[in-house]
A and B are shown apart, each in its own frame.
Chain A
Amino acid sequence: MENILVIVHTEADGALAKPALEALAAGRNISGTFAVGIIGADTQKAANQIAGCGAAKFLTVTGAEFAQPRYASDAAAAEAVAKAAGAGIIIVPHTSRWGRVAAGIAARLGGRADTHATGIANAGDKITITRWYYRQRMEAQMSRAQRPWLIALDPGCVAPLAAAAGTATTTPVTVALPSLRTQVTGVKAPEASQQTIRPDAKLLFVAGAGWTKKQPDGATHVPEAAELILGFLNASKASLGSSKSLVDLSGEGQAVLPFMSHLNQIGQTGSTPRHPKGLSTCCHGEEPHTVGWRFINERRAISLDPNCGWARGKADVLYVADAFAVMRKINEILK
């Protein structure tokens, strides 16, 4: 029988976000004693939000110092909560906040961490996780003998917890904070009109380097490409991904799409976002580049190359066509 602890952090409004609810669902599905740790500026609202989740106890670390996503305070808080719970299995959502500290927490507890888990299975007394290696190119199922075992669960892999709200009884945990030399001063985001990354979008629109190459008239049409892509993103509310070759162009002194950055890159050194649908345009490449849409369920592509490695065998439908013409038409219809 495992002693399971799920540690989550509150958002700015004091509530729990979807990745936290997913981690809670994963923790509750494992047979054993189930406890919840909540860290944040104000934790009661979050505890009340999941009062009916079946947790044996709600351990909380509360205070203004714990509002900031910061290694020193988050690691100290999670360490204290885990020690108070005496947990053998610790699950956290793999948000940027927990991703920053997951391994450090395990080290402080004398345990081990496995991050980017995409599934947690429980058969009898054995817990097995699924995670990817070599940038989503191979998938492993593994288990561990070491305890505590901290598992960071990638968002979007488990249905979020649906628990009745109520009034939860919480147990405050005291944390001995080290001297805090780091202060989070804010968040830098692109202007709203240039915000092209939307994790909750139903569609991922992938732009390839072809948008910046010479077109049949012998000239490049980068401003028009930018207008078409932004126009589509604004009309469809899709999220924008890019191939590495396109985001690398800026470093090579070539004409670039002004709203495109390395944050948009998917694949090898980029992200592997999860969206129900994906539409790739002007992309080319082979297997290493297609891992960027490993977790896209339905995929379509527009390319002039019918043998495109990005699309063939990887997309459900490949339209052999000029993406400029197709996207121009789509934007006209969506207006």
Chain B
Amino acid sequence: MSIAYQIVVCGSLVPDPLQTLEPVAAPTGPSLKNEMMLPAVLDPWAGHALFEATHLAKNNPGSKVYLVSLAPKAKLQQVMMTVAQKAPFELLAIDGPASGFTEAADVAAALADAIKTIPGLDLSKLLVFGGWESASRGAGATMQLVGEKLGITDQFQGVDQLTVAADGSFEILERIEGGKHQVSKCAGAPAVLGWATGNLPEPPNNPQVGMANMRTIMPALQKAKPSKIGAEGVAFASVALPKQQRQTRIVKDMSADDIANEIIAWIQQ
């Protein structure tokens, strides 16, 4: 028996990891220097969630993937030019800041409200995917809060594998301490899954998928509602880059034997 899932992937944008980031103080709280100018990418773990979602949808005919994204509209449009070529999905765009210094509860409320607007939303078919942490706030909080807002209490974080059984139940592997996975069996949808890296490689760009996606992405971006996202009640005393430049002793022309002895002596200190 195949279930036609409604798979909602929550994912926002983060600065390209290769960019130099510098915090600055703004009237509304900390932000990144030239934040709107920094090239952005889809949050990496949310990206893995999206690839897993499209893989699951492909194996369960009739399933549909939605990408719910809260980000500045202009930047979201830029990033969608690339992401749209990776996987088929329908975008639900929310216009607001993608900063890591905003409140996860505000973001989750906006995402949950957007999910509730999906026509024909059926909890018995709903799987809410996302990254288990973002590369901005890195709190691992938003997905849990979205689940709470939607009344979903089967939640999994650090997911690397989801296997759906014929009866609609599924087995989930979640990362736990010591390089191990916790194995759980869930009766079925609805569930929230915060993905770690999963097992799938990034799909190659497919211009045809991109063209099909863009037909719905542009109207979704035009309809994106502004959302008030802040950090009320939070006071940042400081936000700073770590000062950890070390005076590296560079050892050249030492034999492998001598290096080995020096390293062993250091390890055994």
Contacts and interface: CB of A to CB of B under 8 A. Distances in A.
Interface of A: 69-72, 75, 95-97, 99-104, 107-108, 112-116, 128, 132-146, 178, 181-190, 195-199, 202-203, 236, 251-252, 261-265, 268-269, 277, 279, 286-288, 294, 298-300, 302, 306, 311-322, 325-326, 328-330, 332-334
Interface stretch (B79-87, B149-157, B210-218, B219-227): B149-157
Contacts of A318: 248-251
A115 to B, nearest CB: 5
B75 to A, nearest CB: 16
A286 B247 CA distance: 17
B237 A70 contact: no
A72 B144 contact: no
Given A316-B246, A326-B263, A104 B155 contact: yes
B147 interface: yes
A258 B196 CA distance: 20
Contact of B148 (A104, A145, A261, A306): A104
16 contacts: A96-B174, A101-B144, A108-B148, A114-B139, A133-B101, A141-B239, A144-B235, A182-B186, A186-B182, A189-B179, A198-B178, A261-B179, A262-B196, A313-B245, A318-B248, A319-B263
A268 B44 contact: yes
B22 to A, nearest CB: 8
Interface residues of B, number: 87
B249 to A, nearest CB: 5
A102 B141 contact: yes
Contacts of A236: 267
B177 to A, nearest CB: 6
Interface string B184-201: 111110000000110011
Interface of B: 14-15, 17-18, 20-21, 23, 30, 32, 44-45, 100-101, 103-105, 135-142, 144-145, 147-149, 153-158, 160, 171, 173-188, 196-197, 200-202, 233-242, 244-252, 254, 256-257, 259-261, 263-264, 266-267
